[in-house]
Structure 1
Amino acid sequence: MQLYNNLSAKERAALIEAAGKDRLTLSFYKYAHIQDPEVFRNELFLVWNRLDVLGRIYVAHEGINAQLSVPAEYFGRFKEHLDSIPFLKNVRLNVAIEQDNYAFLKLKIKVRHKIVADGLNDETFDVTNIGIHVNADRFNELIEDPNTILVDMRNHYESEIGHFKNAITPDVDTFRDSLPIIEDDLKEHKEDKKLVMYCTGGIRCEKASAYFKHKGFKEVYQLEGGIINYARQIQEQGLENKFIGKNFVFDERMAESIGNEVIAQCHQCGTSCDTHVNCANEACHLLFIQCESCKSEMQGCCSDACKEVSSLSYDEQKMLRRGKTKSNKIFKKGRSETIKFKRNLS
């Protein structure tokens, strides 16, 4: 019985190309009580693997957080399976605006302590007492209200390439870091301002809204379905788009365009650019913004040192990586000392 992915990304990409069929990229989440996450995880894998589902899915006692792609021809069967699970029946699916058959190249379903690393003790407050969900139209109204404080609940490297105009964009590496900072910065406005939040697909705001209500904020709102759902609603309903730039996404696409503006700059030369890449040196793998000119000159690397390593043979690079563990301290996501141009939000 196969319960884990057994193909490499390269092998899977070749199969997708050979199939020549369209895939749909989508995401969803649901907070629910899952008694045995491991059993639930295995059941999902058995069904989704047969449907050729690919993606990154986290399962925990508190629910599920899924980002995935499914062959368009199997979408109906996939939706039927979700609806057969009581707590996932009619769950909102955030379908990507920009599709890419290679958005995901493996099926990874992992059991985690939490579906989002928030660092919170859920037993200390009512996680179901969430903020008011608002659609794109109502969201546009709220953020024009002078009594509204708009907060981006994403990380610095996400908001760097795109965000809502006039939003507070915390300079943080993780969602966990943002919560106490936002509470402290806005503590004087707990009763006299509307706190409106947004994130990529809504899951971070779901927990954050309950946390901030627990901390005394009287009016808390969250953009339902996040930026992904907002983009689809403004497109389908002809609403004004108040998002500038790109929406960072956690798959091979890295981002999808929401507005036409380019608000970021290449981290190596400073030219206008909003394309994220990972350093070609696997031992570094730094996430940073790189223009085509620098990509060619630096061979996809973030520094001359990494360029030298990347030019070595696979076995030589593997030897250099031996004993080193990849982590946020290694990835750094744009905070490396090799980066010359830092974020410049407008």
Structure 2
Amino acid sequence: MKRLFNRVNNRELKARLEESKEQRITLSFYKYHQLEDPQAFRDDLYLKLSECGVLGRIYVANEGINGQMSVPTEQFDNFKTTLYGIHWLDGVRLNIAVEKEGKSFFKLAIKVRRKIVADGLNDETFDVTKRGKHLRAPEVNALLDDPETIVVDMRNHYESEVGYFERAIRPNVETFREALPIVEDLLQAEKDKNIVMYCTGGIRCEKASAYYLHQGFHNVFMVDGGIIEYAHQCEQQGLPNKFIGKNFVFDERLGERISEEVVAHCHQCGQPCDTHRNCANDVCHVLFIQCDECAAKLHACCSKECADFTQLPSEEQERLKGTVEFNGTRFGKGRYRALRKQGL
């Protein structure tokens, strides 16, 4: 019987990825589609993608699929043939990463979820197929040049901290679920204005635009293919790139550079920096921004407390687990001011 799950230790898989010379392509895709049996689809897909050497994280639900992955360059054509051989995924757009580094995932994980993006919405209360208009890069730039246009970042605070479109409203939220009602409240007086929304690859805006149209907003637009596709179109067509900084990505890279500007700061010393890390103290593991100097000084940890903890013998660390509070205990994603308060 063929295996439907990875059974190798994560640490070993990461080491294999780092040592591998294999060229890989990082990409993402999504598709809303009604699936009667997500589990059966998931198991079949796992076998098919495993044969293509795919690594990544894929969510499958009754409403469709949302995937981020890397594919061996030599297997890319085979992968596309396999994917497009699934009738409802035939021709689905593949958002190829802006940066060419393919070491983005170290295992294949396909999970069945209630939704492919956690949004907290009751889809039965509105028509999710009536979405906002997709904008290509020239249309995006034209609308952004209009000072009356409202630009909304539908991502989380740790994503928009390192990069954003000019003049964008950037909600201080940690989840998409939180962002939806906050943005709705912020824009109550702007229902007749042009509203341009964007996210990483477009999937969050698909649902958000349908919801806001249902809520009475009239001119809702979204960046076609999100930041990733916009950046590709600007490069291919020689257009001005109005996205500033880095695009946060949910894989081992944690970001890909879109423009040369560095708009964020090291959460510890405050100097310009946009390098995300997870705290090296696995008991904490908080996501935060850290420059190389602070990383060297604090062993890639978010605080002196975590750095000291990682230097203890493993037996002592194990004994203290659950008795010490770290940054990751208090909040899931680091914020600039929250970490600086520690006086580092």
Pick the TM interval, shorter chain.
over 0.9
Aligned counterpart, 2:262? 262
Structure 1 16/178 Cα, relative in aligned 2: closer, same or farther at 3 Å? Answer: closer
Match of 1:82 in 2: 83
Q: What does residue 69 of structure 2 align with?
A: 68
Percent identity between the two aligned chains: 55
Aligned-partner residue type, residue 72 of structure 1: T
Offset from partner CA, 1:212-258 (integer Å, 9 cap, x none): 00000001100011001111111111110101100000011110010
| Partners of 1:183 and 1:212 within 8 A in 2 | yes
1:97 aligns with 98
Match of 2:298 in 1: 298
Give the residue type in structure 1 aligned to 2:298.
Answer: M
The one-letter code sitting in structure 2 at the alignment partner of 1:171 is N
Structure 1 distance, partners of 2:276, 2:316, is 27
C-alpha spacing 1:331/1:109, structure 2 compared with 1 (3 Å): farther
| Cα distance change on mapping 1:276 and 1:341 into 2, 3 Å | farther
- Indicate the residue corresponding to 2:35 in structure 1: 34
Change in Cα spacing, 1:303 to 1:267, as seen in structure 2 (3 Å) is same
How many Å separate the matches in 1 of 2:119 and 2:315? 38
Give the counterpart letter for 2:216 in structure 1: G
Q: What pairs with 1:116-135 in structure 2 (closer than 5 Å)?
A: 116-135=117-136
Which 10-residue stretch deviates more, 301-310 or 31-40? 301-310
Q: Which residue of 1 aligns with 2:225?
A: 225
CA distance, structure 1, for counterparts of residue 336 and residue 291 of structure 2: 17
Tell me by how many angstroms 1:144 deviates: 1.2
1:100-249 correspondence to structure 2 within 5 Å: 100-191=101-192, 193-249=193-249
* Distance apart, 1:20 and its partner CA: 2.1
Cα-to-partner distance string for 1:80-135 (whole Å, 9 max, x where unaligned): 11111111110000000112232100111011010101000000000000000111
Counterpart residue identity of residue 260, structure 1: E
What TM-score do you get using the length of structure 1 for normalisation? 0.93
Instruction: Could you tell me which runs of 5 or more consecutive residues in structure 1 were left unpaired when the two chains were aligned.
Output: none
SS at match of 2:312: coil
Cα RMSD of the aligned pairs, angstroms, is 2.1
For residues 34-74 of structure 1, what are the alpha-carbon distances to aligned partners after superposition, in whole Å with 9 as ceiling and x for unaligned? 11111111011111112111011100000100000010111
8 Å Cα contact 2:127/2:210 also seen in 1: yes
**Matching residue's letter, 2:105:** F
Matches within 5 A, 1:270-289: 270-289=270-289
Count, aligned residues: 340
Question: Under a length normalisation based on structure 2, what TM-score does the superposition of the two structures give?
Answer: 0.94
CA contact (8 A) 2:302 2:327 kept: no
Give the C-alpha shift of residue 143 in structure 1: 1.2
CA deviations over 1:245-279 (Å, ceiling 9, x no partner)? 00000011110010110011100010111100011
**Contact 1:269/1:341 (<8 A) preserved:** no
Superposition deviation, residue 15 in structure 1:
3.9
Q: Find the aligned partners of 2:20 and 2:258 in 1 and give their Cα distance.
A: 30
**In 2: Cα distance, 1:107 partner to 1:309 partner:** 31
- Higher alpha-carbon deviation: 62-71 or 138-147: 138-147
**Residue type of the alignment partner of 2:62:** H
Residue 313 and residue 248 in structure 1: after superposition, are their counterparts in 2 closer, same or farther (change >3 A)?
Answer: same
